[in-house]
Amino acid sequence: MKNLEVIIGGAAGEGSKKAGLLIAKLFNSHGLRVFIHEDYQSVIKGGQNFSHISVSTQERNAISEKVDFLLALNKDVILKQKEKLKEDGVLMYDCSMEESDFCTQKTIKVSLSDIVNEAGGIPLMKNTALVASFSKAMGMKWEDVEKVLRKELPVETDKNIEVAKIAYEKTEKAKEIEKSDDELLPLFSGNEAVALGAIDAGLETYIAYPMTPSTGILAFLSNVNGIRTFQPESEIAVINMAMGASYTGRRTMVGTSGGGFALMTEGVSMSSQAEIPLAIAMSQRMGPASGVPTYQSQGDLLFTLNSGHGDMLRFVVLPGDADEAYYLSGKALNIAWKYQMPSIILLDKEVSENTYEFQKKEEVKKEDFIKGVEDGNYQRYDGEDISPMLFPGGEEVVKATSYENDKKGVATEDAKEIAAMQKKRIRKHEKLKEELKDMETVKVHKEGSTALVFWGSTKGAILEAAKDLDVKLVQIMVAQPFPEEKLKKNLEGSQKVISVEQNSTGQMSKVLRENGINVDEKILKHDGRPFFVEELRREIEEKL
């Protein structure tokens, strides 16, 4: 089957996101590969939200400019999205709408309101009716549709099934879908994958103030047995509570976006100074200030790499899909505890909230840290590079301080002791760099004469757009400590280096130049939307 692109949309409160997930689950149950891009406005009711589902027989984490089906829960969706329909695309909508402005060649009319009323349902169930009608149009068998709906609609299940059955029977079949023998893979958002990776790395506590697009991590973990979740009154409270939890020995993570992270940065600095493990899921959205809070950007890279004051380093990872979010989240939590430092999972809105087929390509396991010895001589900041850790409650006194300190943790202003502790932390970071030599901090997906360098969620569109072009695809997985040697080695011999980013200033280009890597061209997008495959291909061909 060729790629199939579907948009289903409606106002906030009409259930278009749930309907999009149901459609993806239906295709997934037939062994097909699916990906969902979510587009929604910062409103509780009204506006226009839609899910763009990409379906294929092969892995494809990107979307196209044009779609095969447009499923509309209201007229506004049709008027705003109809230009995305292919010439032979199909519009599916409630036939109670006026038709004068639609101007599409192929339509499938469904009496959504009448169907819901016939079943004695509520207006929200129109999304169930539309999904069921679409499944019939695609040639899916009722028993397969019912199985998915029963599993995915735990509230008012029987009534939803009744609505779906009526809608299914009143719709004509337009296509014939075939099942694939491929392995059925679970569907997870990037946020959910972050949570799963942290759990496998030993996460015990998650603390966050809800902030789009990271809120899904809190929502997911709040339903996981054995994980304690807290929602304090502010991001400042979040970071301080997290350090307190880590100080007492609980593996802790926090989540936020740019504005919330701005409030946390003094705590990030204290984490480095006090050597308190701190893992942060930081999901970018479009700024500055409140910006466009529910839309995409990669505008916080430089901010993240320079967060906190003073001479300090962080471990910063850059996942590009759900599998990478899982693995790098676990790695970040483990590194935070092994090296007693701030670790940041730098996500973006697309990675956080889009839905992927989760393959779990790399396993995450909990890694241990250097434990102190309770012998009456414990010194919290002893050691050549990494300090031995104990926690309050035993026989030893366990210090934690934001002030420069001696090995016992006593504040000091002595020049020799200050220099000694600064050098000790530098040696710790050098040890981390050595460990990272065995990690895939730079990933090469394809060889070619011109190098495209990218990071984060641009991965999906780049892999698709550059399939048959003479380009080398180089993904940066770790931003700090920066993998300078690996990157330079992988870029050797490239005729040209092009940086692909979703910001207006080319922030990764600046990081590359700081590390002695020249960037010849930039492909930038900064309208809050992701790269479409065809759009990115045109940009690449123009630069080539």
Q: How confident is residue 94, by pLDDT bands cut at 50, 70 and 90? A: confident
The b-or-e profile of 11-44 (16+ CB within 10 A means b, else e) is: bbebbbbbbbbbbbbbbbbbebbbbbbbbbeeee
**Helix extents (H) in 386-502:** 415-436, 458-465, 484-491
Domain segments of the chain as ranges: 4-169, 187-357, 370-439, 442-543
pLDDT 10s digits, 71-84: 999 999 998 999 99
Question: Percent of the chain beyond pLDDT 70?
Answer: 99
In sequence order, which residues have a C-beta less than 8 Å from that of residue 489 and are 6 or more positions away?
none
Quick one: CATH architecture of 4-169?
A: 3-Layer(aba) Sandwich (3.40)
For 232-241, what is the mean pLDDT?
97
CA torsion sign for 65, 67, 72, 78 is positive
CATH class of this structure's domain 442-543? alpha beta
CA dihedral 63, 64, 65, 71 (to 10 degrees): -70
For 86-102, what is the mean pLDDT?
82
Q: Does the pLDDT of residue 440 top 90, yes or no?
A: yes
Alpha carbons 153 and 301: distance in angstroms, whole number: 39
Q: What pLDDT sits at residue 105? A: 67
Phi, psi angles (nearest 5°) of residue 341: -155, 165
From residue 383, alpha-carbon distances to 337, 341, 386, 423 in Å are 16, 15, 6, 12
Helix, strand, or coil (residue 195): helix
Nearest residue to 230 (alpha-carbon basis) of 213, 212, 208, 214: 208
Tell me what the pLDDT averaged over the chain comes to.
95
Alpha carbons 261 and 267: distance in angstroms, whole number: 10
Q: How confident is residue 177, by pLDDT bands cut at 50, 70 and 90? A: confident
Element (DSSP H or E) covering residue 310: none
pLDDT 10s digits, 255-301: 999 999 999 999 999 999 999 999 999 999 999 999 999 999 999 99
pLDDT 10s digits, 479-494: 999 999 999 999 999 9
* More reliable by pLDDT, 43 or 301: 301
Alpha carbons 173 and 176: distance in angstroms, whole number: 8
* Domains 187-357 and 442-543 are alike in CATH topology: yes
Helix, strand, or coil (residue 4): strand
Contact (CB, 8 A) for 500 and 462:
yes
Q: How confident is residue 1, by pLDDT bands cut at 50, 70 and 90? A: low
Phi, psi angles (nearest 5°) of residue 373: -110, 130
Q: Does the pLDDT of residue 104 top 80, yes or no?
A: no
Q: How confident is residue 44, by pLDDT bands cut at 50, 70 and 90? A: confident
pLDDT 10s digits, 208-225: 999 999 999 999 999 999
Q: What pLDDT sits at residue 101? A: 65
Q: What pLDDT sits at residue 175? A: 82
Tokens (6 digits) for 53: 């589902």
CATH class of this structure's domain 187-357? alpha beta
In sequence order, which residues have a C-beta less than 8 Å from that of residue 431 and are 6 or more positions away?
339, 385, 386
Alpha carbons 477 and 485: distance in angstroms, whole number: 14
The b-or-e profile of 51-85 (16+ CB within 10 A means b, else e) is: bbbbbbeebbbbbbeebbbbbbbbbebbeebbebb
Q: How confident is residue 178, by pLDDT bands cut at 50, 70 and 90? A: confident
Q: How confident is residue 533, by pLDDT bands cut at 50, 70 and 90? A: very high
